[in-house]
Amino acid sequence: MRFEVKLPSNIGDLVHLRFLSLKNSEMNQLPSSVASLVCLQTLDVRCKDKVVVKIPNVFSKMVQLRHLYMPYEHSVSEKLSLASLGSLQTLVHISNQDCDFKELVQLKNLRKLSVHVRSRNFEILEEISKAAIFTIDRVQSLCVVSTSTDILKSIVYRCRHVSKLKVKGPIGNLPEDLPTYPNLTKLTLCGTCLKNTQIRILEKLPKLQTLCLGDGAFEAGSENLFCSSKGFPSLEVLYLNGLSELSYWRVSEEALPSLCRLYIENWITLVGVPDGLQYVSTLKEITIKLMPDTFCSRLQEGGEDFYKIKHVPSVLFESIVAGQWDEAVRKRMLLAEKRRVALYVQKAALQFIDAGERAENCVDNEVNVYA
């Protein structure tokens, strides 16, 4: 249940308060008097989606704060001071517009970090790179969101010791040495625009237990997803959601030898469940959600794909009706085309910026020669 919340200005009188949660509320401003809550250990301001919450600079004296969950959407009137929060273990939904990333270096106990980088300029990239060297090695759970390929790579290519990693944005290529990341057990990819051949890197991850592939995980026009023999040796949970860029999924015999739960949701371009799924003897549960009834009917007893899943003890269907199918496909295809065009424009813009900077450097060099 969601409800409106307006915190009274005298909230700061509760000086011994240790836990304050405003999660799923409709509060749109955190009062400045919150700064007096110096004993807080957990502050959760993840308010209702689409509500922009104004956040004042109130955290610097909360030296006991361990868990800070910022709102999904928020604005700050000035940069937040976080360097003094030496006890902080969790920092969620923070961006480079909220604080100086260099201050993250001071957070020696930080273990969970969710960061949104909203700039592509090289100063930010350098700042992030320096912070990443000292911060990322300590973080166990990392979520990074950006529209910049360089920034995503600058962070992801350094986070060798994370156990949980979420990447949202066009990273393009995963680190070739990703299978050597010793602790990685959960990976979420969304909007990453990978080539479908990058699945070869993913399936070599020795300890990966949960894999979530979301909308735009692969580049437009990829068509096929193939899991090879003995791939994903430790994977137990697989989420496949909204992969409109793919139409076919193939599973080789002896692939996914540990898979227990499979979720297929809103993947409306998928023609059918793959051949080879019948060999995954460990599979205990399949959930099919927001899929066309034509897809689901193939999996029902008597359907042409029933033999692929008849060994699974629990199969749950939450299908959409046929009347919604054509409209859903149209919307999904339109979204995929918009994404393809947006990525093309982004790449062209970055190439233009790089060319301009090279030209500017050439002019500077010529000036220096003639000087």
For residue range 137-155, list pLDDT tens digits in order. Answer: 789 999 999 998 988 998 8
**DSSP per residue over 175-240, as a string?**
-TTGGG-TT--EEEEES--B-GGGHHHHTT-SS--EEEE-TTSB-TT-EEEEEPTT-STT--EEEE
Amino acid at 342: A
What is the predicted pLDDT for the residue at 231?
A: 96
Highest mean pLDDT among 3-7, 61-65, 105-109, 148-152: 61-65
Specify whether 222 is located in the same domain as 133. no
Specify whether 166 is located in the same domain as 275. no
Q: Among 151, 167, 184, identify where a domain stops.
A: 184
Specify whether 30 is located in the same domain as 140. yes
Amino acid at 4: E
Amino acid at 116: H
Predicted TM-score of the model (pTM): 0.84
Tell me the C-alpha distance between 294 and 81, whole Å: 54
Q: What is the DSSP-derived secondary structure letter of residue 283?
A: -
Residue 350 lies in a domain: no
Structure-token match 């704060």, residue found: 65
Strands 67-69 and 186-190: unpaired
Tell me the C-alpha distance between 245 and 119, whole Å: 27
Residue 151: closest CA among 131, 179, 180: 131
Specify whether 29 is located in the same domain as 164. yes
Specify whether 158 is located in the same domain as 98. yes
pLDDT beyond 50 at 4 = yes
Specify whether 151 is located in the same domain as 264. no
Q: Among 149, 184, 219, identify where a domain stops.
A: 184
Residue 359 lies in a domain: no
Domains held by the chain: number: 2
Residue 7 lies in a domain: no
| Residue 44 structural domain | 16-184
Residue 139: closest CA among 184, 197, 77, 98: 184
Residue 85 lies in a domain: yes
Residue 254 lies in a domain: yes
Q: How confident is the model at residue 205 (pLDDT cuts 50, 70, 90)?
A: very high
What is the predicted pLDDT for the residue at 131?
A: 63
Specify whether 242 is located in the same domain as 282. yes
Specify whether 106 is located in the same domain as 236. no
Residue 360 lies in a domain: no
Specify whether 170 is located in the same domain as 51. yes
Specify whether 166 is located in the same domain as 242. no
Specify whether 161 is located in the same domain as 244. no
CATH assignment of the domain containing 88? 3.80.10.10
Residue 358 lies in a domain: no
pLDDT beyond 80 at 312 = yes
Residue 266 lies in a domain: yes
Specify whether 175 is located in the same domain as 210. no
Q: Among 129, 152, 184, identify where a domain stops.
A: 184
